[in-house]
Amino acid sequence: MFNQFIQKYNLPKYRISQLYTQYYKNLISSWDELSTWPKDLRESLKKEIPFSNITFISSTESQTKDSIKVLFKTPKNNYIESVLIKEKDRNTVCVSCMSGCPVGCIFCASGQMGLNESLTSNQIIDQILYFARYLKGNGERVSNIVYMGMGEPLLNLENVPRSILTITDKDKLAFSKRRVTLSTSGYVQNLRIFLGKKLGVKLAVSLHAPNQKLRDMLMPNVSKKNSLVELFKILDKYTKDTNKRVTYEYVLLRDINDSVASAKELSKLLKHRLALVNLINYNENECLPFKKSKRTILFQKILQENGITCTVRKSYGEDIKGACGQLAVAQWER
Ligand code: SF4
């Protein structure tokens, strides 16, 4: 974000360090607070670099006060959303990497919008900084970041890795790589390129089906061109090379992918793999025909009986339309 400015003004190291410290670590809320810089330099910065590349529109807090969803607008007038999930031991920010999503999973509200715009790395970072400043007011910090908001991170291969470098740079946001998770729907070739960058962040895969046929139905755009066989080839290599576990997300849709047979098939698929299954209760949306499963506990039990580590994702903010993309869709349709 600052490279051109730094070059143009030939800034010495100590000025760059002052800027990064104030902006990324002290979390100033406007350029006027960059008091360690002389006024003329600060004024130039103010004229040339927007303090944020996205505009806050609204925020909604869940009744249980454990999640806050924020709607932002980009300069191209597209909406994006980010969520802060508060738990006892962590504050996780879920960022979007696109407005809308081109993957078009048939159960997902973001998927129905199609792609409006891919975000720049600065726009991704701005979502994190927004919540970091918000939490600072309560003496708290963002502890974890997940790329699980709107969009497919591996279809924004220029800006997502760039944003990860800023997040994990010790002079900038300085997050441990273990506290950053990228979630993909499974674009094999792009996953290969991403893993080749060796950014060291954790990996999650939106699986949502235990076999090719059902995945083709639920996630046609990605599934038909990226078979489960090819996907697992690269994931198996990843776990072998890194000894890191992959998280598999599985949204339970009533009478679609939540049968006992599906649970057994999923168990078989993951049995000898370093895997954690994260079951997700579906947040129903009036625009889509899918229903929340009634078999979550049974599904989890079957996986566990088959030796698969399995958690059920705590459902955050159903009352704030907390499922993927729904808040932005509501705004979009106004
Ligand atoms: S579930 Fe994720 S990948 Fe699929 S359409 Fe929604 S945002 Fe895109």
Pick from 170, 180, 177, 199: which is nearest to 20 by CA? Answer: 170
What one-character-per-residue DSSP string does 122-152 give?
A: HHHHHHHHHHHHHHHTTT----EEEE-SSS-
User: Are residues 153 and 182 in contact, defined by beta-carbon separation less than 8 angstroms?
Assistant: yes
Which domains, ranges and CATH numbers included, belong to the chain?
A: 1-51 (no CATH), 52-332 (3.20.20.70)
Q: Which atom of ligand 1 is nearest to the CA of 109?
A: 6
13: its two tokens? 């190291």
pLDDT given at position 316: 55
Q: What is the mean pLDDT of residues 7-11?
A: 95
**Cβ contacts of residue 300 below 8 Å, gap of 6+?**
279, 310, 312
User: Are residues 126 and 53 in contact, defined by beta-carbon separation less than 8 angstroms?
Assistant: yes
Among 83, 94, 97, 108, which residue has the most ligand 1 atoms within 8 Å of its CB, making it the best to mutate?
A: 108
47: its two tokens? 């004229």
SS3 84: strand
What's the CA gap between 5 and 37, in Å, rounded? 14
Cα(93) to ligand 1 centroid in Å equals 17
Q: What is the mean pLDDT of residues 131-137?
A: 95
Cα(109) to ligand 1 centroid in Å equals 8
Q: Is 81 annotated in the active site?
A: yes
C-alpha 24: how far from chain center: 20
Cα(283) to ligand 1 centroid in Å equals 14
Give residue ranges with CB within 6 A of ligand 1.
101, 103-105, 108, 110-111, 150, 152, 185, 206, 324-325
pLDDT tens column, 208-258: 999 999 999 999 999 999 999 999 999 999 999 999 999 999 999 999 999
Q: Is the pLDDT reported for residue 329 higher than 90?
A: no
Ligand 1 atom 4 nearest Cα: 105
pLDDT tens column, 153-209: 999 999 999 999 999 999 999 999 999 999 999 999 999 999 999 999 999 999 999
Q: At what angle do helices 188-196 and 228-242 cross, to 10 degrees?
A: 20
Cα(43) to ligand 1 centroid in Å equals 41
Binning pLDDT at 50, 70 and 90, where does residue 332 land?
Answer: very low
Ligand 1 atom 5 nearest Cα: 111
Question: What value does the mean pLDDT of the chain take?
Answer: 92
Residues of the chain above pLDDT 90, percent: 82
250: its two tokens? 């599985």
Strands 55-61 and 91-94: unpaired
Strands 98-101 and 79-86: unpaired
Residue in the block written with tokens 């502890």: 143
Among 83, 101, 206, 221, which residue has the most ligand 1 atoms within 8 Å of its CB, making it the best to mutate?
A: 101
